[in-house]
Structure 1
Amino acid sequence: MNQTKDTTGVRSAKLLMISLVVARGMSFMFSKTLLFNMGPFSLLGIRFLLAFLLLFAFFYKRVLAELQKDPKILFAGLALGAAYFICMSCELVGLQYTSSSTCAFLENSAIAMVPILEALLTHKAPSIRIILSCFMTCIGIAMITLNGGIRSFGLGEFLCCIAAFAFACAIILNDRCTKKHDAFSIGILHVGFIGLAALLVAFAFETPHLPETGTQWMMLLMLTLICTCLGFTLQPVAQRKISAQTTGILFGLNPLTAAVCGWIFLREAMTPLGIAGGILIVIGIIATNAFPEP
């Protein structure tokens, strides 16, 4: 009975994580449009702080109760927020020096980094299933994003590699923190830390301003409500019952979602190679979810 309940809980957590990854994958479409009129750190700061204020307004009693009962949860949220802020900052700056396709591929190489880092931390090699799933997912991402290949390796590529490492660390931190602290409170706190850090950088290097048109506000609200309030806040909740390695593989849906949204809404090209890459990502994800969670 308990085993059936655990299996059902793991399956539900995986389905929740898939929906969150898809929601976050949609953010590329909205961000790409908003960045024509807003600085990257201004957009990041406003997006995450607005999400934090909305979430805190509804759930402040729970967050404050958890902080009083478990003060260390504040440091867990700070560590997770710092990892994601480094990841997203390096991604945004790296995009100024390299193509978006190269950035997408290098950043999502975190999928392969997670099982390696986990193996180093736990002194236990990942299963063959995880290794094969990581390999197929990474090849699929390469097929979607690298039609022209990586022509050189410079500052932009280096920053994207740092983003990938920070992303992998964030996934592992999520795994560790949610085993010890309230996952939902961590989700809210780390969103606030990302927004505060981004806005401080924006005031230092940009001229922050709010969206100017109704369409821009609608896109910002979509980024805030769907991609941030749901996509970021509920990741710790979903990750409580699944491993960091599986989470990393599920994030292979992120560039696939971005590519599909770009094809449907932004009229971006979807090549046969990209379609094949998307199929390979789905196969890799199915392969890692075909058996009970290790």
Structure 2
Amino acid sequence: MNTNAAKLLMALVILTRSSAFIFSKFAMEELSTFQTLGFRFTLACLLMGAALYRHIAQALREDKSLVKKSCLLGSLLFCIMGCEMQSLRTAEVHTVAFLENLSLALVPLFLAVWYRKLPKVRILQGAGFILLGVAALTIGGTGFTLAGGEGWALLAAVFYALYIIATGKLAAISDGKALGILQMGFMGLLSFAAALVQEGSVFLPTRVLTWESLAFLVLVCSCFGFTFQPVAQRYISAEETGMYCAINPLFASLLGHWVFEETFGPTAILGAVYILTGLVFVNWPEQKTHGLPRQAIHAQQTADSRQPHSQA
């Protein structure tokens, strides 16, 4: 796969996964947060595992640390999706989508800390716009609040930024398809375990709409989306991945308006404009750098591949 094909694949991944906000809301009308996640990711792992059994078995033989890597990504994914689903219970789709995708700005900031390199001025300017956007989106009729779904969405953004970085790092030295499938298995197990702890039992859904929503979440958002993100990230950097995430809040907001008849007030529109402006500042591509030298990222990945016991 060449770089252009990887970029197209990443755009399709983000586009399809943005529809998950809608179908997750439908599923949670009957199921709890962790039951929904458990069914979604366990079924996706079983389906993809059955289809690519030989490929996964070979990848496990060649990479003895693949299970540990998948467990790490699955744990981060569990944190992301758990926070996202909690936020969707009390916040509107467009608010959750924009706040969660602040990860686009967090990725270059976290990488700057990792490589001990000060962020560029444009990144700091973008962060300023994004903070204004967060403030606008979280000001309701009673004033500024992060106690409900907005707070969960911001926490999801932090975990998502870490997930993008970790996926880029591990996908460069691992089999992307096997990594993507196995991470969903760990995600499903953690979700069912959380459901048992929280509710004491797991039950099968009975509503047709719930099964239809789960089918879309499993086949489109998970089997395609989460399986092929590590594949695409093997050929593009973590910061470039962040650029494509801008598709997510835009498309999710349109779906929220179309399906749930959500309306954008003046404050919400202003917040969205601020955030999109900030994301442009943060992720605008440069010829030599994207906030950090590509050579530094490549050198780090090469060093890691030669030192399997180094810190991930």
Cross-structure match for 1:53: 46
After TM superposition, list the pairs within 5 Å mapping 1:283-294 onto structure 2.
Answer: 288=283, 294=289
5+ residue gaps, structure 1, are 1-7
Residue type matched to 1:115 in 2? Answer: P
> Aligned pair in 2 of structure 1 residues 238, 289: CA closer, same or farther (>3 Å)?
farther
Cross-structure match for 1:44: 37
Q: Among residues 45, 55, 73, which one is paired with 1:80 in the alignment? A: 73
Residue type matched to 2:17 in 1? Answer: R
Question: Residue 34 of structure 2 contacts residue 195 of structure 2 at CA under 8 Å; is this kept in 1?
Answer: yes
Residue type matched to 2:197 in 1? Answer: A
5+ residue gaps, structure 2, are 290-312
Q: Among residues 81, 106, 111, which one is paired with 1:113 in the alignment? A: 106
Deviation digits for residues 164-209 of structure 1, max 9, x if unmatched? 2211111100010011111111000101110110011112212422
Residue type matched to 2:168 in 1? Answer: D
Q: Among residues 253, 259, 282, which one is paired with 1:265 in the alignment? A: 259
Residue type matched to 2:244 in 1? Answer: L
Size of the alignment, in residue pairs?
Answer: 285
Q: CA deviation at 1:246?
A: 2.0
Question: Residue 104 of structure 2 contacts residue 279 of structure 2 at CA under 8 Å; is this kept in 1?
Answer: no
Question: Residue 205 of structure 2 contacts residue 211 of structure 2 at CA under 8 Å; is this kept in 1?
Answer: yes
- Name the SS for the 1:71 alignment partner: coil
Cross-structure match for 1:99: 91
Residue type matched to 1:256 in 2? Answer: L
Residue type matched to 1:181 in 2? Answer: S
Deviates more, 1:151-160 or 1:44-53: 151-160
Q: CA deviation at 1:140?
A: 10
2:151 pairs with 1:148: no
- Name the SS for the 2:256 alignment partner: helix
Deviates more, 1:204-213 or 1:235-244: 204-213
TM-score between the two structures when normalised by the length of structure 1? 0.82
Cross-structure match for 1:3: none
Q: Among residues 208, 231, 240, which one is paired with 1:237 in the alignment? A: 231
TM-score between the two structures when normalised by the length of structure 2? 0.78
Cross-structure match for 2:307: none
> Aligned pair in 2 of structure 1 residues 247, 143: CA closer, same or farther (>3 Å)?
farther
Aligned equivalents of 1:157 and 1:147: distance in 2? 10
Deviation digits for residues 81-120 of structure 1, max 9, x if unmatched? 1111112223334556x63465544432222211111111
Question: Residue 77 of structure 1 contacts residue 189 of structure 1 at CA under 8 Å; is this kept in 2?
Answer: yes
> Aligned pair in 2 of structure 1 residues 219, 256: CA closer, same or farther (>3 Å)?
same
Q: Among residues 184, 193, 208, which one is paired with 2:186 in the alignment? A: 193
Cross-structure match for 1:184: 177
Q: Among residues 213, 216, 219, which one is paired with 1:219 in the alignment? A: 213
Q: CA deviation at 1:17?
A: 1.1
2:239 pairs with 1:248: no
Residue type matched to 2:253 in 1? Answer: A
2:14 pairs with 1:21: yes
